[in-house]
Structure 1
């Protein structure tokens, strides 16, 4: 199984979209500062997760969520507590 996830930075009100086959471990890595692109915005909270049977399906969805249309979808469908976006 592969997962596409959306994280929300509790310190900077930012979103991050990623893909993994181990979502719990990946969140711990983000919050431990092991990912350069998210290190400055710790702590992160997982606010959305989708499951796919293949890596290709997950990668396609991840790429979509990073487009302008995907950001619009996130804004309409994902409302983390405390978000100002």
Structure 2
């Protein structure tokens, strides 16, 4: 999860091992993407997705 202006580039960086914190967990697949108007809105959405109900929402996308 994260905030970016270039989703394709961010996914590429994660899957190519450029990001040390995510390197051991690759490959990644994009399952949810939403555009927000402000950085504050994006941070709030990211925080919501990291809650139990947000995690449940993301898991249900995979079913």
Give the TM-score band, short-chain normalised.
0.7 to 0.9
Distance in 2 of aligned mates of 1:65 and 1:54: 17
- Compute the TM-score of the two structures, normalised by the length of structure 1: 0.66
Equivalent residue for 1:65, pick from 42, 45, 49: 49
- Compute the TM-score of the two structures, normalised by the length of structure 2: 0.86
Distance in 1 of aligned mates of 2:37 and 2:54: 21
Moved over 2 A (4+): none
Unaligned runs of 5+ in 1: 1-16, 81-85
Determine which structure has greater relative contact order: mean sequence separation of CA pairs < 8 Å that are 6+ residues apart, divided by chain length: 1
Which structure is higher in strand share?
1
Q: CA deviation at 1:23?
A: 0.6
Aligned residues: 63
1:1-85 → structure 2 map (5 Å cutoff): 17-76=1-60, 78-79=61-62
Unaligned runs of 5+ in 2: none
Which structure is higher in helix share?
2
